Structure 1
């Protein structure tokens, strides 16, 4: 049913204002703004069952910012003044959570390493070009996942001239400009996997600024379906790795890997509670064609990660990320 506006033209019932009130779309936008602010501020209280809804929200938490911008645009178009004011709340909360990550990083310090993290994809059609692109980054360390034969031989050949030290365990590997020592595989496999599963290593990197315990890992994949986020295996592996990190005696620890989760995801809390995330940069890395989340991570302890950024696409379905790692002088 329609009613006449001031111009005499019909106006839809749902656009009518109550006396002194917002049009119904404005009230809806205001309600969505309150809900968005609550999800941003209280996401840790969203239950993870059923379907690991909390982890699912935290995976895409960043995108509540662009959603808020769209709601603000809608409120402006509708001239919904109350909605505009209410929508400032999620905008402020989002800025408080993600704003610092968008600020520019300071200049490199005197005791920094650069680290490239990349899941190269086991079906990469051009591993040689991928290896050359990674080497051209000039990083001190390159951490790779999904290394399989025969492409593994290509990575070894292409990276050797600039990275004389490397260690591969199973499908993960570390290439370094600096000497490596005491490399070993780590068992972080979920209990229900019975076939060979070797996707984590630890190596000592003898840098000019002291020794660093470097971990390269590939946590199990997650799947999104009608039942929600299937992340039980990933969470189990993260917990096993967290227990290993709890016993790590090195003052400086660096972890690079495809963690199949963002640093906001509570499923990675066994790692993010023990290691610091990058301070600046989004570096959305997956999927490469339209990056929606950074699931490729560089974390540290006894060191800072001042900045992280995505590198151009290779033949993988992930984008490489490059992080600066500042080593504390007194560690």
Structure 2
């Protein structure tokens, strides 16, 4: 006769199965009301943390069923995110090193931030929240190592290689009035061929009583996605503060067209206790081989560095 599951093991076992189900079928969670689906996906890797208290409960209360049930969320988490924990592959001959950083419009030390970025040795540096008072500071500090740069509105791109075809990319939500320019595109003449580089800063999202307020971010992502889809060059690298994680369905217009990092978690926000990476590096006809967070600057974001292997 099959013995029923002890009562004290049913709830934690059910929670383990629920955790695995949410990670596996997060796309089935509706986004209304309050864009709860996007909110879940923003913190999707952190669902794995539920395993820790459930494991301790199963261990202390001696409920083998709970411990067995926990194998399911562990397996799902490993399948979804385990590759990000693997060490990076060896650098190849056709790689670019890129840095993405929201430098913050209230950064108290733009000069120090610029020096730290220049010291990364990156090929390309993308910056957001460039305000008029601080822009000359970045231009002076980066000029020696990055002789080529373009700025459109509050976003900019610095490059070791010549830039051409620079233009503004209109990602402004329809309900905004007044000046608002947060997207640019330029072509970098990299040693192994031209690369179309996009720099973008999508609108902020807020978490409130009604859930995740991301309508403007989602609209802007759609506009940026259409611009990338229309890009005539095969190779595309997108750098930006996208105010969303790669798992967030609000960024589907981008993640459906561009590849994301294969290695590295690199949480970038908030800088004091980073829990999510909303600073993204994505690519087409190229592979984002590895991404990592850099030491803090005067910003509320951490800089993010990535290796991009060109195809």
Structure 2: how far apart are the matches of 1:225 and 1:99?
31
Structure 1: how far apart are the matches of 2:104 and 2:150?
18
Q: Structure 2 residue aligned with 1:269, among 229, 252, 255?
A: 252
Q: Secondary structure at the match of 1:215?
A: strand
Whether 1:185 and 2:168 are equivalent positions in the alignment is yes
Q: Structure 1 residue aligned with 2:72, among 73, 89, 92?
A: 89
Structure 2: how far apart are the matches of 1:80 and 1:22?
9
Unaligned segments of structure 1, at least 5 residues:
1-18
The answer on whether the counterparts of 1:40 and 1:94 sit within 8 Å (CA) in structure 2 is: yes
Structure 1: how far apart are the matches of 2:57 and 2:163?
56
Structure 1: how far apart are the matches of 2:191 and 2:208?
47
Structure 2: how far apart are the matches of 1:74 and 1:310?
34
Structure 2: how far apart are the matches of 1:309 and 1:156?
25
Whether 1:286 and 2:286 are equivalent positions in the alignment is no
CA distance 1:157–1:37, shift in 2 (3 Å): same
Whether 1:61 and 2:44 are equivalent positions in the alignment is yes
Structure 2: how far apart are the matches of 1:121 and 1:144?
9
Structure 2 match to 1:194: 177
Whether 1:247 and 2:230 are equivalent positions in the alignment is yes
Whether 1:149 and 2:129 are equivalent positions in the alignment is no
Structure 2 match to 1:307: 290
1:1-331 paired onto structure 2 within 5 Å: 24-328=7-311
Q: Secondary structure at the match of 1:305?
A: strand
Deviation for aligned residue 1:74:
2.1
Deviation for aligned residue 1:71:
1.6
Structure 2: how far apart are the matches of 1:298 and 1:243?
17
Measured against aligned partners, the alpha-carbon deviations of 1:96-115 in whole angstroms (never above 9, x if no partner) come to 00001111111100010000
Q: Secondary structure at the match of 2:70?
A: helix
**Dislocated runs of 4+, deviation >6 Å:** none
Structure 1: how far apart are the matches of 2:56 and 2:126?
42
Q: Aligned-pair RMSD on alpha carbons?
A: 1.1
Structure 1: how far apart are the matches of 2:8 and 2:221?
44
Deviation for aligned residue 1:214:
0.1
Q: Secondary structure at the match of 1:308?
A: strand
The answer on whether the counterparts of 1:142 and 1:174 sit within 8 Å (CA) in structure 2 is: yes
Deviation for aligned residue 1:21:
5.2
Structure 1: how far apart are the matches of 2:254 and 2:174?
19
Give TM-score scaled by structure 2 length: 0.98
Aligned residues: 310
The answer on whether the counterparts of 1:22 and 1:80 sit within 8 Å (CA) in structure 2 is: no
Structure 1: how far apart are the matches of 2:297 and 2:60?
41
**Radius of gyration: which is bigger?**
1
The answer on whether the counterparts of 1:141 and 1:177 sit within 8 Å (CA) in structure 2 is: yes
Deviation for aligned residue 1:124:
0.2
Structure 2: how far apart are the matches of 1:78 and 1:310?
39
Deviation for aligned residue 1:70:
2.7
Structure 1: how far apart are the matches of 2:270 and 2:7?
38
Structure 1: how far apart are the matches of 2:127 and 2:7?
53
